[in-house]
Amino acid sequence: MTIKVDTASLQAEAAKLRRPRHRTREVRVGDKVVGGDNPIWVQSMTTPDTHDLEATVAQIHRLEEAGCEIVRGTVPKPQDAAVLSEIRRRIRLPLICDIHFDYKMALAALDHPVDKIRINPGNIGGYDRYRQVIRKAKERGLPMRIGVNAGSLERELVEKHGYPCPAAMVESALRYIDIAESEGYHDLIVSLKSSDVLTAVEAYRLYVQYADYPTHIGITEAGKAPYAVTKSASGLAPILLDGIGDTIRISLLGDPVPEIAAAFDILQATQRRVRKPELIACPTCGRLEIDLEAIIAEMEKRLGGKTTPVKVSILGCVVNGPGEAREADLGIAAGKGKGVIFKRGEIVRHVLEHEMVDALMEEIDKWEREEAEHGRLGGEKSPFVDGGKLRLPVLK
C-alpha pair distances (Å), 383 with each of 43, 174, 196, 329:
22, 30, 29, 15
Q: What is the pLDDT of residues 293-317, one digit of tens each?
A: 999 999 999 998 888 889 998 887 6
200 lies in the same domain as 323 = no
How much is the pLDDT for 387?
A: 35
Is there a domain that residue 250 lies in?
Answer: yes
What DSSP character marks residue 383? -
| Side chain identity, residue 115 | D
Is there a domain that residue 7 lies in?
Answer: no
Query: CATH number for the domain including 318?
Result: 3.30.413.10
46 lies in the same domain as 136 = yes
The parent domain of residue 257 ranges over 13-269
Domain count of the chain? 2
Is there a domain that residue 3 lies in?
Answer: no
Q: Closest by alpha carbon to 25, among 193, 139, 187, 219?
A: 187
Query: CATH number for the domain including 125?
Result: 3.20.20.20
Q: Of 241, 269, 297, which marks where a domain is finished? A: 269
284 lies in the same domain as 253 = no
54 lies in the same domain as 202 = yes
- DSSP three-state, residue 96: strand
Structural contact between residues 228 and 200, judged by C-beta atoms closer than 8 angstroms: no
247 lies in the same domain as 191 = yes
Q: Of 227, 251, 269, which marks where a domain is finished? A: 269
Is there a domain that residue 260 lies in?
Answer: yes
Is there a domain that residue 61 lies in?
Answer: yes
- Alpha-carbon distance of 190 to 217, in angstroms, equals 9
264 lies in the same domain as 345 = no
| Side chain identity, residue 85 | S
211 lies in the same domain as 328 = no
Is there a domain that residue 210 lies in?
Answer: yes
Is there a domain that residue 2 lies in?
Answer: no
79 lies in the same domain as 115 = yes
25 lies in the same domain as 138 = yes
CB environment 61-98: b (16+ within 10 A), e (fewer): eebbebebbbbbbbbbeeebbbbbeebbeebebbbbbb
- Alpha-carbon distance of 87 to 158, in angstroms, equals 38
How much is the pLDDT for 323?
A: 66
- Alpha-carbon distance of 11 to 26, in angstroms, equals 33
248 lies in the same domain as 367 = no
99 lies in the same domain as 160 = yes
* pLDDT tens across the length of the chain (396 residues): 566 777 777 777 777 777 889 999 999 999 999 999 999 999 999 999 999 999 999 999 999 999 999 999 999 999 999 999 999 999 999 999 999 889 999 999 999 999 999 999 888 888 999 999 999 999 999 999 999 999 999 999 999 999 999 999 999 999 999 999 999 999 999 999 999 999 999 999 999 999 999 999 999 987 899 999 999 999 999 999 999 999 999 999 999 999 999 999 999 999 999 988 999 887 777 677 788 899 999 999 999 888 888 999 888 766 665 666 677 889 888 888 888 898 888 889 999 999 999 999 999 999 999 988 888 775 433 443 333 344 443 333
Q: Of 216, 234, 269, which marks where a domain is finished? A: 269
pTM of the model: 0.88
Q: What is the pLDDT of residues 157-196, one digit of tens each?
A: 999 999 999 999 999 999 999 999 999 999 999 999 999 9
Is there a domain that residue 324 lies in?
Answer: yes
163 lies in the same domain as 17 = yes
